[in-house]
């Protein structure tokens, strides 16, 4: 196995590069714009549920805080179902599927399981909440602290890698 040097690591501390991280030659297809657009599609789906429920419940004449709370809980539930449950089954979300991306585990490039996705979803939720509560966003800090952040890579790279390793069937 080729040892890839983590960006910023001292030369004498070479460690395996996480699968799918930028600069990983095992997944050479460009994907930065695809990842951004896939995130936007997924985010619009989740926020669409929030606003759809908010507007749909308006005729019920609920208190504003109750209405907002129900919509917020629905948004969180849809986000969890979509980003954890759906992705653990199909390895991708709707946004990622539209842009030909799939998730890989950073340690071995394999299929992410429910526990892995749920853990990272929780880390993302905490990072998002704390980004609004403090003077500086914490998302960048989370990514620096946890270098094994999950990556989305092009489906064709996953298939090409499987063929090269003789795992395609």
Task: State the pTM of this model.
Answer: 0.76
Identify the three-state secondary structure at position 137: coil
Per-residue pLDDT of the chain (169 residues; tens, 9 = 90+): 444 444 444 444 566 788 888 788 889 999 989 999 999 999 999 999 888 888 888 787 778 888 888 888 998 999 999 999 999 999 999 999 999 999 999 888 889 999 999 998 998 888 777 776 665 556 666 666 665 678 899 999 988 888 888 776 5
Distances (CA, A) of 131 to 1, 73, 77: 38, 19, 20
Residue 154 phi, psi (nearest 5)? -65, 135
Structure tokens at 147: 């270098």
Report long-range pairs for 140-145 (Cβ below 8 Å, ≥24 apart).
Answer: none
Identify the three-state secondary structure at position 103: strand
């Amino acid at each position: 196995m080729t040892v890839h040097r983590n960006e910023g690591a001292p030369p004498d501390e070479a460690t395996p590069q996480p699968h799918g991280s930028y600069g990983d030659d095992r997944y050479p297809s460009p994907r930065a714009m695809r990842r951004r657009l896939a995130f936007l599609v997924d985010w619009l789906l989740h926020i669409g549920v929030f606003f759809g429920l908010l507007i749909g419940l308006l005729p019920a004449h609920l208190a504003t805080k109750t209405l907002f709370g129900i919509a917020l809980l629905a948004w969180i539930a849809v986000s969890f179902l979509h980003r954890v449950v759906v992705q653990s089954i199909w390895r991708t979300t709707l946004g990622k599927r539209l842009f030909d991306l799939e998730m890989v585990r950073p340690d071995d490039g394999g299929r992410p399981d429910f526990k892995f996705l749920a853990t990272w979803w929780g880390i993302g939720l905490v990072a998002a909440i704390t980004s609004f509560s403090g003077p500086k966003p914490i998302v960048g800090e989370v990514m620096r602290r946890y270098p094994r952040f999950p990556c989305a890579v092009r489906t064709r790279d996953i298939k090409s890698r499987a063929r090269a390793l003789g795992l395609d069937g």
